[in-house]
Amino acid sequence: MLRRQAFARFNCIITPKAITRSKYSTVSGSDVARTKVPFKNITIFGSGMMGSGIAQVSAANEYHVNLVDLNKGALDRSQQYILSSLKRIARKKTTDERMQTNYIDEVLSRINFTTESEHAVASSDMVIEAVVENIEIKQNLFKSLDPMASPQTLFVSNTSSLKIKDIFRDVSEKRKERIGGLHFFNPVPQMKLLEVIKTDTTKQEVFDTLFNYGVSVGKVCVVCKDMPGFIVNRLLVPYMLEAVKMLERGDASAKDIDIAMKYGAGYPMGPFELLDYVGLDTTYFVAKGWYEDSEIQKMELVKPPSVLKKLVEAGNLGIKSGKGFYEHRK
């Protein structure tokens, strides 16, 4: 996402019996045995909700994590966010307070909150970025990390809208064999889906490792080609934009469109509720980026509606600003 780390919290429901089994299993948890991954040390850049969530689920599944941010205040907030999330999970696991505390302490003991990127990267088997959705920032980050990391280290992006190949444009040719995408969904501890992306330079064994890592942290994994938006957001963003265009044309009200999609299509949220939840700026900048500079540019399907642009320019961004298509209590 552009300018935001959190994006689609749209719940994907997959019925295991309906899945045609392939080389890769798309079910996790109790449905299949979790696959062992031949590494344990992960470094995550970006301690926002996405980075914190990835750190939490990794540490909860016995990975050792360095969570890196430039700002110590951001790391402190991340630690509190993870602690709060772990408390909720611990209470669901057991009513025994001692066991709850032991579980929380054990997971937190595997997360190192740090501003020291070079040392963290040097000891890591995999580096994941979960920084702001700006391609230049991502490119510069990986370009600077490339010489610090072991030649065997995997480089991974959590982008939700940008092409993986473009993000790794400036790393060495050898490193390009060891890149990929792991698109988690927010909030990471609750959302089961993980999109696993392979580029045309990614070695098959690297892709297999990334997929198995996803299974090992309890995610339902799906395979996707390296394209803007991957599976979910490639379908979800045009859907939300079309809803705005319906409103713009006067076809129906936002409320009636939301009610129609919830009760007619069975969606957990209507498109305008989802837009406010995700952030109008998030959706606008994703659509703008796709429409102006991507392989799907100038497609009417992703053209940002003027109503959406006006709301963003006015600072009406949804729940986070108190107002979007609906009014929200802050």
Q: What is the CATH number of the domain that holds 96?
A: 3.40.50.720
pLDDT digits (tens, 9 = 90+) for 204-230: 999 999 999 999 999 999 999 999 999
Buried b / exposed e over 155-172, threshold 16 CB at 10 Å, is bbbbbbbbbbbbbbeebe
Q: Would you please indicate which residues are annotated as catalytic (active-site) residues?
A: 160, 183, 195, 233
Phi, psi of 279, deg, nearest 5: 115, 120
Q: Same domain, yes or no, for 110 and 219?
A: yes
**Any idea what the CATH number is for the domain that residue 307 is in?**
1.10.1040.10
Shared domain for 156 and 89, answered yes or no, is yes
Joined tokens for residue 1: 């996402």
Is residue 286 a contact partner of residue 2, using CB atoms and an 8 Å limit?
yes
Q: Is it the case that residue 166 has pLDDT exceeding 80?
A: yes
What percent of the chain shows pLDDT beyond 90?
83
Residues 6+ apart with CB under 8 A from 87: 100, 104
Same domain, 147 and 288: no
Percent of the chain beyond pLDDT 70? 89
DSSP state letter for 32: S
In a domain, 144, yes or no: yes
Do the beta carbons of residue 42 and residue 66 sit within 8 Å?
Answer: yes
Domain that holds residue 73: 41-225
CB contact at 8 A, 60 and 231: no
Number of domains in the chain: 2
Q: Which among 56, 75, 64, 143 has a CA at the least distance from the CA of 113?
A: 75
Q: Within a 10 A sphere around the Cβ of 261, how many other Cβ atoms?
A: 20
Is residue 109 classed as helix, strand or coil in its secondary structure? coil
**Number of C-alpha atoms within 13 angstroms, CB side, residue 237?**
32
Co-location of 139 and 176 in the same domain: yes
pLDDT of residue 186: 86
pLDDT band at 294 (very low <50, low <70, confident <90, very high): confident
Strands 154-157 and 41-45: unpaired
Q: pLDDT at residue 124 above 90?
A: yes
Annotated binding-site positions for CoA:
85, 92, 160
DSSP reduced 3-state for 126: strand
Average pLDDT (30-50) is 78
Whether residue 215 is found in the same domain as residue 241: no
Q: Identify which of 265, 245, 258 has the alpha carbon closest to the alpha carbon of residue 326.
A: 258
On whether residue 207 sits in a domain, the answer given is yes
C-alpha 9/C-alpha 77 separation (Å) is 21
- State how far the Cα of 46 lies from the Cα of 70, in Å rounded to an integer: 8
Single-letter amino acid, residue 74: A
